Amino acid sequence: MNIREVSLAAVSALAVSGCVVAPYPYRYDRQPVYYQQQEQPADEVVVDVPPPAPYVEVVPAIPFLGAVWLGGYWGWSGGRHEWVGGRWEQPRQGYGWRQHAWVQQGGRWHLRQGGWERR
């Protein structure tokens, strides 16, 4: 392998490394699968399905001086995981951002909501 082939392979690997595919679940009859979950408070999400691998976001240019990037996360909507993209936001004096996170407890997955927390 020469240097050109190695370089091409490295660039190709980088190009596809940011791609994450979250397949839509289907039954054998090709009908969409919607996971049934118990009624929960609007701010609490508990599901039986683990979240997909983290999605690699391209962070756009900072829109204003001092802006804080709030990274995206896998949310839950319509019976499946759905990517919620990150965003720039004005920082809050005396607060820090807690990222959304999925935590496994008792064999189920709980979405711990993100938000601003006092330091």
Grouping H, G, I as helix, E, B as strand and the rest as coil, residue 104 is strand
Tokens at 73, concatenated: 């996360």
- Measure the CA–CA gap between 48 and 31, rounded to whole angstroms: 20
Question: The whole model's pTM is what?
Answer: 0.62
Nearest-10 Cα torsion for 116, 66, 56, 5: -160
**Coil, strand or helix: which one is 46?**
strand
Per-residue pLDDT of the chain (119 residues; tens, 9 = 90+): 677 765 656 556 555 554 444 444 444 445 454 444 444 445 689 999 999 998 899 999 999 999 999 999 999 999 999 999 999 999 999 999 999 999 999 999 999 999 999 99
